[in-house]
Amino acid sequence: MDHSKYNIAYFSMEIGIRNSIPTYSGGLGVLAGDTIKSCADLEIPLVAITMINEHGYFFQQIDREGNQVAQPTNWAINDYLELTPAQAIIKIQDRDVKIQVWQYIIKGATGFEIPVYFLDSNIASNNEFDRHLTSHLYKGGDLEYRLSQEMVLGIGGYEILKKLGYNNIKKYHMNEGHSALLTLKLNHDLCNSKSMTCENTKPYCIFTTHTPVAAGHDQFPIDMAQRFLKHYTDNIPEKVIQNNALQMTQLALHSSGFINAVSQKHTLVARKMFPGFDIKGITNGIHPPTWVSPPFANLFDKYSPDWRVKPDTLTNIKDASHQEINEAHYINKKKLIDFTNQLANVGMDNDFFTICFGRRITAYKRPDLILLTPDKIAQINNIRPVQIIFAGKAHPSDMEGQAFIKRINQIKNDFKNDIKIAYLENYNIKVAKLMTQGADLWLNNPIPGQEASGTSGMKAAINGVPSLSTLDGWWEEGWEEDVTGWAINEPEEKMDQYTLEELKQKHANTVYEKLEKHIVPSFYNNQTHWLEIMKNCIIKNGTYFNSHRMCHEYWDQAWSK
């Protein structure tokens, strides 16, 4: 492989490429994987850097009482990745930490190859602590571990690229702030000094911010940061220190010449959060060949043969008949229901209206919202049958998240004679495919303003599945009421009039009302209208909310500059 042609380096703490490489936790990692795959299809010369996470994020089981049990994931690295001879050494405090790297090649539609590198510190010459720095993704709690991990990603990743022979990198793209320490080493190389200003890295650095939620922005006590990073910097600039802590997001913001948020709504939110920065908006997308189900891929091949490289041509799907759409969806739905019945044994029915909710389980996503008044959903089910499938992992140290899982599972059991509900264990790329493709309705109900983009609804849309969602993230752009799906709140909702509980009740009431009066009756009684909505999802949203369009935007605005 000719390494000199690659001039963009993409850094991400997690990358989700395929189900059998479980090094990701959720949307951020899957987005990174989809981005890289689109670059391969579009022949964009990018290399990617991430962590090996040899015990994955975690393997989720749910016990009888609804408690989440987290097991380490073990996966056969050798089966999928190839160990390269390259090694780099970074200095954490005064220790030498050796890093090796595994390679995975993604081949695009035309054969163009994108290498993905997985950093690995599990080397015999490292001490026990350092050998575990690349073992678990987002292992909670310990800040020294986390800072060391981010040094491996940012500084180790930067060094290993040189060792691998990538001597022509012009852009360093930080997907979230976890990799921002690379700017210290880049600055060092540019000015041959350990004095950091955050100015001279700007032409080389791109930063994408992905979350308005505070827990998503790492900070490290300044004395710890100085101790750990002393080999790379003599001064941590005042402007990236707040609350006596190094702010990774501030470091990334101040060091980058191009900064973006991931939906138009999130761009407004991010500009308020980080005043003084020129924050652009590039709305996320999903990789069509990865997320389109086989029956729809067949249909797309028939009506829109170039869709794998030009998903904007999916407007041609207007020529498909309602019967073709219906048949393709039924195959997907049956596959999901079979899978669910095998795992959850709740006797789901292929012909019942099926609502799915699958994503990371955490407070702002309000996973139990549709079950806020279980009697109400049971009553809707009494008129025309409705069944609900949930899935999602809560971070092992997120107790609130785990309480949602418990509550959903308890309601599922308490109401088992009233409504069919299933909770699928161990949400991952495979389960996400089954659910986004097989659902009749994709439900998403975050607190407005807190979901940066959301991508699962895009995976549903390109498979003809409409969303019922709060207007947040991408849905503000993809929503047309009763055309591509439905909204759970008004566009200009006055949120500050309500407490969070009141807001949740209000949104739950809207969910019940729209389901009862409109959505479920349309599904059962107005098939023509329903199938038209399904087609609209592909034509209006599948054509736009894809990572090919997104990568074209990154190329035009940032990567090629």
Interface residues toward ligand PLP, by CB under 6 A = 26-27, 30, 359-360, 427-429, 432, 444, 454-456, 459
Q: Smallest gap, in angstroms, from Cβ of residue 80 to ligand PLP?
A: 18
Between 249 and 444, name the residue whose CB sits nearer to ligand PLP: 444
Between 100 and 456, name the residue whose CB sits nearer to ligand PLP: 456
E strand or H helix at 511? helix 500-514
Between 171 and 459, name the residue whose CB sits nearer to ligand PLP: 459
Between 149 and 428, name the residue whose CB sits nearer to ligand PLP: 428
Tokens 């609502």, residue? 355
Collect all residues with Cβ–Cβ distance below 8 Å to 369 and sequence separation of at least 6. Answer: 445, 504, 507, 508, 511
Torsional class of 308: left (φ above 0), alpha (ψ -120 to 50), beta (otherwise):
alpha
Q: Are 220 and 181 in contact (CB under 8 A)?
A: no
Paired tokens of 280: 């652009």
Q: Smallest gap, in angstroms, from Cβ of residue 73 to ligand PLP?
A: 13
DSSP-based three-state secondary structure for 207 = strand
Q: Smallest gap, in angstroms, from Cβ of residue 393 to ligand PLP?
A: 8
Backbone CA torsion sign across 133, 137, 142, 148: positive
Q: Smallest gap, in angstroms, from Cβ of residue 431 to ligand PLP?
A: 7
d(CA 409, CA 376): 17
Q: Smallest gap, in angstroms, from Cβ of residue 454 to ligand PLP?
A: 4
Q: Smallest gap, in angstroms, from Cβ of residue 398 to ligand PLP?
A: 14
Q: Are 82 and 95 in contact (CB under 8 A)?
A: no
Burial pattern 517-550, b for ≥16 Cβ within 10 A else e, equals eebbebbeeeeeebbebbbbbbbbbbbbbbbbbb
- The amino acid that residue 116 corresponds to is V
Q: Smallest gap, in angstroms, from Cβ of residue 400 to ligand PLP?
A: 17
Between 328 and 458, name the residue whose CB sits nearer to ligand PLP: 458
The residue sitting closest to ligand PLP, measured at its beta carbon, is 27
Between 166 and 427, name the residue whose CB sits nearer to ligand PLP: 427
Strand partners, 119: 51, 101
Between 139 and 360, name the residue whose CB sits nearer to ligand PLP: 360
Between 45 and 288, name the residue whose CB sits nearer to ligand PLP: 288
d(CA 313, CA 544): 10
Q: Which of 387, 337, 377, 389 is nearest to 523 (CA)?
A: 387
Tokens 């350990």, residue? 194
Q: Smallest gap, in angstroms, from Cβ of residue 285 to ligand PLP?
A: 11
